[in-house]
Amino acid sequence: MLKSDWTLRAAYAECRRLARKHYENFPVASYLVPRQKRDALAAIYAFARSADDFADEYRVEDATASQQPRLDRLADWRRKLNACYAGHPDHPVFVALADAARRFDLSQEHFENLLRAFESDVLVSRHENFASLLNYCSCSANPVGRLVLELFTPKERREPALFELSDNICTALQLANFWQDVRVDLERDRVYLPLDELQQFGSSLEIVRTYLPKHGRASVAKPGENWNRFLDFQIQRTQALFMRGMNLPELAPRELRVQLRLTWLGGMEILSKIEAVEYDVFRRRPALSRMDFLKLYFRARGRHKLASEAATHRVQLGGIANEP
């Protein structure tokens, strides 16, 4: 659809529709963002979620055969992104994104990195080590945080140190999601676990699969000590990443601080919930309830630094552990 066929208002409305379609909490999340920036946030989200859909499409028994159509859709999305930044958007999402990118000086590089992550989801279903996971997070999670910072920060005031703090939080959030969704990902034949470390802890992908529920019933096999030690190790290194980024809310623009505190608190709470179920993420997915969100929101509204919140968690302060 040509730009002339879509008014800017209609394009943003389409982005909001896509955001709500994919994420039921999007209206709640966007409420914390100043009104003049909500549409830009919706455009960013619509770009990412649409591309994620392309990566998940065409699932057939022969995974190799299903790869090319998905890669073709992502390649077309990249073409549209290039046209958008060249001033010739030809799709409603990109009509809105072109306007948001112009008004807030959003970097094209971050959108390109997101596309690389979605291409990885098509081509790569295993990660042999933690370095591979970190590399994936650098494209799948960190660009989102950087785009949000750009949305709130004029170009002349964007400091590399702030982006580095954001990267730590975003990578930690992505890792927390991996540990939270082990069961969901395994059922889709996606494995976001460092396989070499799984082996070092005396387990394997074959053993982990025995923990999955079968035919709607809980699995007979219950995760044992080896799995518990493995996931505890991953949680500790993820907490350490959160700690590395915890100063970001107080250094970021004032209007973004509550949202950043809430994001940090939510990620740390997910890790605590995984610990609370004794690392058995197969029988019940640890998640935040509406009451949890409400409690965290009021904590995020507080003016104290997150360091005091960290005291309520079991956190390794020495940095990211790299060896089991």
Per-residue pLDDT of 166-182, as tens digits, reads: 999 999 999 999 999 99
Question: What is the mean predicted confidence (pLDDT) over 103-109?
Answer: 97
For residue 319, pLDDT over 60 is answered with: no
Q: Please give the pLDDT value at position 64.
A: 57
Give SS3 for 73.
helix
Instruction: Please name the residues in contact with 106: beta carbons below 8 A apart, sequence gap of 6 or more.
Output: 40, 44, 100, 147, 150, 151
The helix-helix angle for 130-140 and 160-180 (nearest 10°) equals: 120
Question: What is the residue-averaged pLDDT of the chain?
Answer: 88
The pLDDT, as a whole number, for residue 26 is 47
At 315 the pLDDT is 52
Q: What is the mean pLDDT of residues 214-235?
A: 85
The predicted model gives 175-194 an average pLDDT of 95
Residue 66: band (very low, low, confident or very high) from pLDDT cuts 50, 70, 90: confident
Q: What is the pLDDT of residue 217?
A: 66
Is the pLDDT higher at 18 or at 281?
A: 281
Q: What is the CATH number of domain 1-123?
A: 1.10.600.10
Determine the pLDDT at residue 318.
Answer: 45
Is it the case that residue 210 has pLDDT exceeding 50?
yes
Average pLDDT of the segment spanning 23-50: 78
More confident residue, 106 or 21: 106
- Asked whether residue 312 carries a pLDDT value surpassing 80, the answer given is no
User: Cα–chain-centroid distance for residue 258?
Assistant: 19
Q: Do domains 1-123 and 125-324 have the same CATH topology?
A: yes
Question: Is the pLDDT confidence value at 314 over 60?
Answer: no
Q: What is the DSSP string of 109-125?
A: HHHHHHHHHHHHHHH--
Q: Where are the alpha helices (DSSP H) in 4-62?
A: 8-22, 26-31, 35-56
* Torsion angle, alpha carbons of 236, 241, 242, 245, to 10: 160
Q: Where are the domains of the chain?
A: 1-123, 125-324
Predicted pLDDT of residue 222:
82
Is the pLDDT assigned to residue 102 strictly greater than 60?
yes
Cβ atoms 40, 151 nearer than 8 A: yes
CB atoms within 10 A of CB 153: 18
Is residue 257's pLDDT more than 60? yes
Residue 236 has pLDDT above 80, yes or no: yes
Residue 287 pLDDT > 70, yes or no?
yes
- Given phi > 0 = left and psi -120 to 50 = alpha, else beta, which region is 279? left
| DSSP classification of residue 214 | B
Count Cα neighbours of 261 within 13 Å in the Cβ-side half-sphere: 25
Which position has the higher pLDDT, 249 or 217? 249
Residue 220 pLDDT > 70? no
Q: Is domain 125-324 classified as CATH 3.90.1170.50?
A: no
31, 1 contact by CB (below 8 A): no
